[in-house]
Structure 1
C-alpha cells in the first residue's frame, strides 16, 4: 500500500469518527488521483508466404483486390518497407506465418534465399513459424539459414559469409522422427511494450506430402491442434498468458473479396482456428495465399480472430490489442485486425530499393545460364482448337514436375500466363537454339506455384466448359498436357461443347477421380475457372518456372510439340 493510499484511509477514518457528512465539500473539489493504466497496447504486424519476392511480383501474382473491391498492383520489398514503417511503433512486434523462403524467384533462389532472409531482418521481423517450403532444402539447410555459415556445396554468396537470420523460426509440431523431440524451438517469447507475448509456431501436418522426401528426412509433422495446445500449456507454465499461434495452414476463399472480409470455405485453417485451446488468444495463418479476417469460437466459447494476409508481400496484417497488466492476458474484446494492401502508390524505400538492385546485379550471371536447346521456334500462334506449341509444352513440363509428388494425371496451363515466345535465333551471345534461364523466365515471369487437386470427371468436364465465358465473348483455351484429349464442338451451346474426354487414352467417367495439375492462379479460380476451387486434396509443388527448366534440362534438344490434343468438330 502506497503512502497516498494510507492517507486516503486516514481521512476516511477521521470522517467516520467525527460523524461529518461526506457532502461537506463537492466531489469535484477533490478529484481522485489518476490511476495507472490497467492495460497496455500491443500491435502485431504479420506477413505470410512472402516466397522471396524482393522485386514487385508481376501478372496475377502482383495484384490484389483492395477494400473498395478494385484490383490494384501490390507487393515489392521496397514498397513493403515503406508501408511497414507507417505501421510500426514502439508497441509493435513483426511476425510471420511461414513460407518466407522456398519457391522463390531467381534473385533469391540463386543464393539459397539468403537475400530474402537478410531483407526480413532489415525490416525488423522478430519471429516466424516455419512453412512447408522452409524445408525444401532440408532441416540442415534451414538451421544454416537460421544460425549462419556458408552453403556446404555452393560456398559463400557474393555478400560473403552468411551471418544467419535476425529472426527466429519456431515449429511446435516439427519433431525428430527418432525420438519425438522438438526439431525446432516450439515457441518464442517476445517482450512487446513491456509485456510478454508468447508465439507458437505450427506448420501444416501435410508437409510430408508436399515437400520432397529429402527435405523432410528424419522429421515427423504432428497434428497441429494437439501440438499447439501442448505448446500453449508450456507457455502458461513459463508465466506467459498472452499467446498467439503462427500457423502455416489456411482456408480457401471466394475470390475477389475485400482483404478484410471472411469469405472462407471452412477447411484445415478453420479447424485449427476453432480447435486450439482457449489459452490461445489469436491465430495468424498462411499457406493458402488468401487474404481474410475471420472470427470463430474457441473451445471455451470465447470469440477468437484468425487472419491471413495473401502472399508475395501484397498484404500486411495489422493487429492491435490490449494486454491486462495484472493478469498478463490479452483482452479479447480489444483485438482489432486489419489487412493493409501493400500498394505501389507510395515512395519506395530507397535503402531497400538499392538492396534489391544489388542482388539483381549479382544474379545476372545466373540469368544467362544455359538450361537447354530447341530445334526451332516454339511460340504462341494458336491452332483452330486454341492450342499453342509453347502452351502445350509448358503443360507437359508441369505434368512431369507434379506427377511424382502430387500424383498428377493431367496438367492445364492458362494461355495468358505464356508471355513471350522461345526463338531459335540467339538473343545475345549464347548461340542459336540455346535457351537461357532468363529466356525461360521471360516466358513464365509470375512465379506461380504448381498445385494439384482432385476433380471428378464431371467437374473436369464443367471446368473445360468454362473456357467460353461472357456468352462466348471471352474464350480462354486451357493448354492441355499430352495425357488429356477431348473434342470440342463450337456449334453446340455454351455448357455443352466438350465431349469424349480421355485421360491417357481411356474415356473419363463422371464419378472418376482425376488428379489435375495447374498453377496456383488457376487452382484459385483465376481467369474465371471457378470449378478449380471445388477441387480436393490440394498439393503444392515447385514454381512453374522450375518445372519448365527441369523439363529442358531433361529433354534437350526440344522440338516444337505437335498440336492436336483437342479435336474440333462441327
Structure 2
C-alpha cells in the first residue's frame, strides 16, 4: 500500500525533473465526511480543440458549422466562445482542450507568437490541454517558453510586456526525450533522486519501473484536478505522426511514441496516486461523413478510433482533436465497457459538453451517467465584452502591419486543387519561392507542400478598406502562416523522381494519402494513376528540358519539407544546404515585384490512366 508521505509527494509534483507534473487542486486530506454524503457527485467538462488562434470570428467556410437541426450557421470567435462557456458553466465545471490551440494562426495571434491566444484561453478558464502538432511549429524550446513564460529570444517582448506563461497545463504523455539525450539522462536521475528516502520502497520501485519502461517525458503527461471532493485525472496525447508534419530541427531531441502505450503508462501513474476517474485528451481523430449533425456518431474508424478502443479500460472517456471534425460516439474499451469518443470541430466553432457522475466511494466515473453534447458556438448571443475588448486591443496593435498593401491580383487565386492536384495559388507560391532563392541559393525549381497553403487570395476588398484586388500583408500571411525558412538543396534527377513518387501511397515512406507538391511553373512531369508505386512518375522536365537520373538539380522548398516533413523523406538526401528568407517574406516580395497578377493556370502536371 502506498504511504501517505508518497501520496503528498506525488500530488505536489515532486517528479518535475522528469516532467511528471501532477497539477493538483485543493487537497482533501483531513477533511471529514458530511453526515449524509452523496453517493455520487456531478462533474461537467467543457472542451475545445484546434482553436488555431482564431480570436476573431473565422470567415468563409471556416466560420460556418452545421448545427443539430442540419442548418448551417455562422460560428466561432473568441468573444462568442467566452459567452457560450459562461452560459454552459456551473460550479461542477472543468474546461479542457485537445491541442492545436495555437499554430497556423491568423496574423492577429501569430504576429506575437500566439501569446494573445494563450492568454485568452487562460482568461476563459481552460485548465489543461493536450499538446497538438502545431504547438511544436516553432520547436520544443518555444513551446516551453509559451508554457512557462519569458520574452521571445529573437523578437523580444510583445506590446503587452513580459510573457508570464500559460495559465493552463500543456500535457504530452507520448512525448519523451530520445534515449541517448543527455538531458533525458539527467532528468531521470533527478526524478529518482527526488523519490529516494521520501517514498516507501514499493512506491519507489513502481515509479522506477515506469520510468525505465516508458522513458523520460519531455512534457507533463498528466494533470489532476479536484472537484466536488473527487480527483479527475487528464492524460494528454499528441498524434504520433507529429515528426512528419512539423519542422524536424525543433524536435530533434524528442520521440513521439505510440499513443496507446503512453496512455496506458499514464493511466498506471494516475492509479499509483489513487486517481480512477481518467480522461484522455488526444490530438488525433477521425474523419466524418460531411454535413452531419455535430452530435452524430459519423466518425469513420481510423487513427482516433484505434486509440479510443485500445487504451486501458481504466480510462473513462477519450476527447479528441486534429481532424477538425465534430462527432459524439460510444466505443468499447478492451474489457467491453462503453466509453465516450468525441471531437468538437475546429476554430472555436463547437464546445463539447460532457456531464457525468463520480462515485465518491470508488472515485471512479459512473459510465452509465455520461451524457455528451456538441454545442455550436453561434454568433446570435451577446459577445463577451471583456474578451471583445481584449481582442480589439490586439487588433489595434497589429493593424499597421496587417493592413499594409503589398500587391494586386486581377481575380480570386484559389487553393482549390484541379484533377492533377495542383492549385493556382500553390503554383503562384512555388514561383515566388523560386524567385526568392535563385540569387544566393542558385535554385532551379521549387516545390511547395499543399498543406501549407492555408487559404485563398480573394479579389474582393476587406472591411479594412484596401479596395478590390489589393493584397495586404495580413491576407498573404493568412495564406502562409508558418514562418518557415526557405532552403535549397542539391538533388540528383533520380532523387527528385523519388520525391515525386513519395506523393503517392503504396511505397516505403510513402504518404498515407496522395499529397501533390505544388510545382514552380518551369517544372513539368506526368504521372500515371494506374502504375505501380515507383513507376508512376515520368517525363520530368525543367524549362522544357528532360531531366536525367544523374544530373544535379538545385531544388527550393521550405525547411519543413527539406527536413522530411509530410513523409517526403527524399529531401533528406539533399546536399549543399542553403538557407534564405522566410516563406512569407518570399511570397510578399513576389506579390510586390509582380503587380496585377492573374491567376496561374495549374497545368504543369499531366495525368494519365
Q: For residues 396-450 of structure 1, what are the alpha-carbon distances to aligned partners after superposition, in whole Å with 9 as ceiling and x for unaligned?
A: 427998xxxxx9788599999442179xxx959xxxx9964135358x5999xxx
Work out the number of aligned pairs and report it.
449
Query: 1:305 maps to what in 2?
Result: 340
Query: 2:285 maps to what in 1?
Result: 250
Matches within 5 A, 1:183-222: 183-222=218-257
Q: Residue 397 of structure 1 is aligned with which of 426, 429, 433?
A: 429
Deviation at 1:204, TM superposition (A): 0.5
CA distance in 2, matches of 1:185, 1:64: 33
Query: 1:80 maps to what in 2?
Result: 81
Task: Determine helix, strand or coil for the equivalent of 2:291.
Answer: coil
1:379 is the counterpart of 2:414: no
**Contact 1:552-1:558 at 8 Å conserved across structures:** no
CA distance in 2, matches of 1:254, 1:377: 35
Query: 2:524 maps to what in 1?
Result: 504
Q: Residue 437 of structure 1 is aligned with which of 473, 477, 497?
A: 473
CA distance in 2, matches of 1:420, 1:561: 11
Q: For residues 532-566 of structure 1, what are the alpha-carbon distances to aligned partners after superposition, in whole Å with 9 as ceiling and x for unaligned?
A: xxxxxx9599xxxx966543347862474685555
CA distance in 2, matches of 1:377, 1:161: 39
TM-score (norm 1): 0.70
1:239 is the counterpart of 2:274: yes
Q: Residue 459 of structure 2 is aligned with which of 420, 426, 439?
A: 420
Judging changes above 3 Å, is the alpha-carbon distance between structure 1 residues 43 and 564 closer, same or farther for their aligned structure 2 residues?
Answer: closer
Q: Residue 374 of structure 2 is aligned with which of 302, 316, 339?
A: 339
Deviation at 1:395, TM superposition (A): 3.8
CA distance in 2, matches of 1:341, 1:253: 17
Matches within 5 A, 1:457-476: none
Deviation at 1:295, TM superposition (A): 1.0
CA distance in 2, matches of 1:410, 1:165: 31
**Contact 2:430-2:448 at 8 Å conserved across structures:** no
CA distance in 2, matches of 1:381, 1:245: 41
Judging changes above 3 Å, is the alpha-carbon distance between structure 1 residues 344 and 394 closer, same or farther for their aligned structure 2 residues?
Answer: same
Stretch deviating more after TM superposition (547-556 or 148-157): 547-556
Matches within 5 A, 1:346-365: 346-365=381-400
Deviation at 1:340, TM superposition (A): 0.3
CA distance in 1, matches of 2:517, 2:140: 36
**Contact 1:483-1:505 at 8 Å conserved across structures:** no
Stretch deviating more after TM superposition (34-43 or 103-112): 34-43
Judging changes above 3 Å, is the alpha-carbon distance between structure 1 residues 143 and 399 closer, same or farther for their aligned structure 2 residues?
Answer: farther
Q: For residues 316-339 of structure 1, what are the alpha-carbon distances to aligned partners after superposition, in whole Å with 9 as ceiling and x for unaligned?
A: 000000000000000011111110
Judging changes above 3 Å, is the alpha-carbon distance between structure 1 residues 280 and 439 closer, same or farther for their aligned structure 2 residues?
Answer: closer
Query: 2:295 maps to what in 1?
Result: 260
**Structure 2: which 5+ residue stretches go unaligned?**
1-34, 185-214, 434-445, 483-499, 507-515, 538-564, 569-581
Query: 1:282 maps to what in 2?
Result: 317
Q: For residues 491-545 of structure 1, what are the alpha-carbon distances to aligned partners after superposition, in whole Å with 9 as ceiling and x for unaligned?
A: xxxxxxxxxxxx9322423245689xxxxxxxxxxxxxxxxxxxxxx9599xxxx
Deviation at 1:132, TM superposition (A): 0.6
Task: Determine helix, strand or coil for the equivalent of 1:283.
Answer: strand
CA distance in 1, matches of 2:283, 2:246: 14
**Structure 1: which 5+ residue stretches go unaligned?**
1-33, 402-406, 458-478, 486-502, 516-537
Query: 1:118 maps to what in 2?
Result: 119
Deviation at 1:368, TM superposition (A): 4.5
Q: CA RMSD in A?
A: 4.0
TM-score (norm 2): 0.66
Query: 1:316 maps to what in 2?
Result: 351
Task: Determine helix, strand or coil for the equivalent of 1:215.
Answer: helix
Judging changes above 3 Å, is the alpha-carbon distance between structure 1 residues 507 and 335 closer, same or farther for their aligned structure 2 residues?
Answer: closer
**Contact 2:70-2:291 at 8 Å conserved across structures:** yes
Task: Determine helix, strand or coil for the equivalent of 1:505.
Answer: strand
Query: 1:272 maps to what in 2?
Result: 307
Judging changes above 3 Å, is the alpha-carbon distance between structure 1 residues 381 and 302 closer, same or farther for their aligned structure 2 residues?
Answer: closer
**Contact 2:83-2:382 at 8 Å conserved across structures:** yes
CA distance in 1, matches of 2:481, 2:250: 25
Task: Determine helix, strand or coil for the equivalent of 2:116.
Answer: helix
**Contact 2:429-2:448 at 8 Å conserved across structures:** no
Deviation at 1:90, TM superposition (A): 0.8
Judging changes above 3 Å, is the alpha-carbon distance between structure 1 residues 313 and 399 closer, same or farther for their aligned structure 2 residues?
Answer: farther
